[in-house]
Structure 1
Amino acid sequence: RVQGANWIEVDFSDWHKNTAGAELFDELKRAVFSCRRVSFSYFAGEGGGTVRTVEPVKLIFKSKDWYLYGFCLLRNDYRFFKLTRIKDLTLLPETFLRRKADVPELKPTIQQERLISVRLKFSPAAAFRVYDEFTDTVEKDAQGSLYVTVDMPERTLYSYILSYGDTVEILEPDELRRSMKEKLTRMAEKYKT
């Protein structure tokens, strides 16, 4: 048995060799440990960015994403900030005293978006990704097609489904199926010339 073996590695970069994620994480970790305020541009779901000044409490990994949890001076409340939406981070010279609420009695939860229950059918060509992302909720028919019923966030639903290209079909709900058909028709119009 090897003592002190290098048994784990966390790589924040994606396949495009982007090292910004690791640098951001290290800077935020430094800010948390030194109780220093940070300032950054934040791009929330509703569109344009806002400049935030935050007293960072902790870094949290949930599902597949990292979040900063801290006290936002703009909103005068505790907030979660997805690291991939943080740009132009600056460690400010000001330090802060930890508040009692910094360690909440209840575990902080990341606010859930409105979810829609969706039934999807995937071709066998998408199996590797379907099993990666839906694990044990996958049903398979005799032809190898895969079926998943899942609750998805309304705001990112279309872009997520489109990321599967022609290997996915929305089966239910009917209104989502119709809406996707309309979007695809509008998209096809852009490529007529």
Structure 2
Amino acid sequence: MPDTPPARRGPYAKTAERRLEIIRTATAVFASYGYRGGSLRQIAAQLGLPLTTLMHHFPTKSALLEAVLDQEDAADPDAEGRARHDGFMPMVLGIVERNLGRRELVRMFSVVSAEATAPDHEAHEWLLRRYAAVTVDYGRMIAFDQAEGRIRSRRDPVQLAGLVVSAWEGVQIRWLADGTDPVAAMRTLLAALLDPAD
């Protein structure tokens, strides 16, 4: 039987690669200059692309920001499955460890989130939706662990989830600023807040 010729890389693969390249560069630019300080022209220049080529993929700066922010949400589709199997705390600590290798994305998210607290910011509604969704998701995971006896705290699981999210962001900023070990910090924080079973 003759060898099968290698599959050709079609235009869709090239388009997907180019979009990913743009998103990565935008992540670095927004991390360094903020959303309002970075520009499409600056991102195109770093890539050596004409501005029109970049805008073919992302016609507006807000569309590019949305794609950059969506990286964070798409990065961990099975968090709840892992939380049910291993427990909420190990799942969270696993994400913190993974983020050690995604410093630019974490920095960008921290910078843009701070900017997006302003009601007129393009990402403001996204930020509110994200906080609401993550708090509900984490509350459900905490409630499951409470029922399983893995978390002894009897406090409201959604309230606990909100505290975890808020504290986590502060821990990440300390890590970015002065190198504080985020895994050790989150382990201590989660233990104090959730009172896990031994």
State the TM-score, normalizing by the size of structure 2: 0.24
Q: Which structure has the larger Rg over C-alpha atoms? A: 1
Q: Which has the higher contact order (CA 8 A, sep 6+)?
A: 2
Structure with a larger share of its residues in helix: 2
| Higher strand fraction (1 or 2) | 1
